Amino acid sequence: DVKVTQSSRYLVKRTGEKVFLECVQDMDHENMFWYRQDPGLGLRLIYFSYDVKMKEKGDIPEGYSVSREKKERFSLILESASTNQTSMYLCASSRPNTGELFFGEGSRLTVL
Amino acid sequence: QQQVKQSPQSLIVQKGGISIINCAYENTAFDYFPWYQQFPGKGPALLIAIRPDVSEKKEGRFTISFNKSAKQFSLHIMDSQPGDSATYFCAARRGNQGGKLIFGQGTELSVKP
């Protein structure tokens, strides 16, 4: 069974802290994505990666960075967390040029 | 700006009824239109998808209707069941940008027994 695993389901951080969200996929997919899910706004793309060490900005990259050192792992980094980054974060992976994304179960981040 | 607009935001349907969710898009470069289903506590999962050269696609009780000239597409759930209660997202793929998906705002469907 295909799987995308997000290491933390729930996190509570304080303003200004550095936050790491980890994602691992076991499907040997080239593409990996980080989305943010907020009520009424749907899923918005933060960053994506087509290959190891490659990354491109999505629609809302401000305040975030990413790292992809290995094909199966894609990390989202909040350098200095702010309260407006309180949200559900979803990682996904896919084969190139397909429309089927496989999502993890999400990481709910609360920034106090 | 929102490139894919979805409505309604929430929907309540009686068991056995038809659920209809609508989406409209602006970018004519989109080349693939999937619908995702998300249950509470889970990530979204692909439900059904359509390409713009087809006007309708049906899989079981789920049908996508696509109107290319109006730049609109919709999901119809026939004989809706309580187990269909979930959040539904339409999406569109940017064909010239490696397959990134742009999602709509989501519709929370509740099917009452």
Of B4, B42, B106, the CB nearest to A105: B42
Percent of chain B with pLDDT strictly greater than 90: 81
Res B95: pLDDT? 72
Res B46: pLDDT? 95
Res B11: pLDDT? 97
pLDDT digits (tens, 9 = 90+) for A3-52: 999 988 999 999 999 999 999 999 999 999 999 999 989 999 999 999 99
Is the minimum CB–CB distance between A43 and chain B shorter than 8 Å? Answer: yes
Q: B49, B33 in Cβ contact below 8 A?
A: yes
Identify all chain A residues contacting B36, using CB atoms and an 8 Å cutoff.
Answer: 101
Subunit contact B99:A96, Cβ cutoff 8 A: yes
User: Cis peptide leading into B52, omega within 30 of 0?
Assistant: no
Res B100: pLDDT? 83
Res A2: pLDDT? 67
Res A71: pLDDT? 95
pLDDT band at A96 (very low <50, low <70, confident <90, very high): confident
Does B99 have pLDDT greater than 80?
Answer: no
Strands (E), chain B: 4-7, 10-14, 19-25, 33-38, 45-50, 56-59, 62-67, 72-77, 86-93, 101-103, 107-112
Question: Nearest C-alpha of chain A: how many angstroms from B12?
Answer: 17
Is the minimum CB–CB distance between B25 and chain A shorter than 8 Å? Answer: no
pLDDT band at B54 (very low <50, low <70, confident <90, very high): very high
Decide which of A95 and B63 is more confident: B63
pLDDT digits (tens, 9 = 90+) for A43-78: 999 999 999 988 999 999 999 999 999 999 999 999
pLDDT band at B1 (very low <50, low <70, confident <90, very high): low
Does B27 have pLDDT greater than 90?
Answer: no
Residue type, A2: V
Identify all chain A residues contacting B46, using CB atoms and an 8 Å cutoff.
Answer: 99-101
Q: Are strands A42-49 and A102-103 parallel, antiparallel or unpaired?
A: unpaired
Res A95: pLDDT? 86
Does B57 have pLDDT greater than 90?
Answer: yes
Q: Mean pLDDT throughout B67-92? A: 96
Does A83 have pLDDT greater than 70?
Answer: yes
Cα–Cα distance between A75 and A69 in angstroms, integer? 9
Is the minimum CB–CB distance between B18 and chain A shorter than 8 Å? Answer: no
A97 sits in the region (left: phi over 0; alpha: psi -120 to 50; else beta) called left
Does B13 have pLDDT greater than 70?
Answer: yes
Cβ-in-10-Å burial (0-12, 13-18, 19+) of A73 comes to middle
Does B41 have pLDDT greater than 70?
Answer: yes
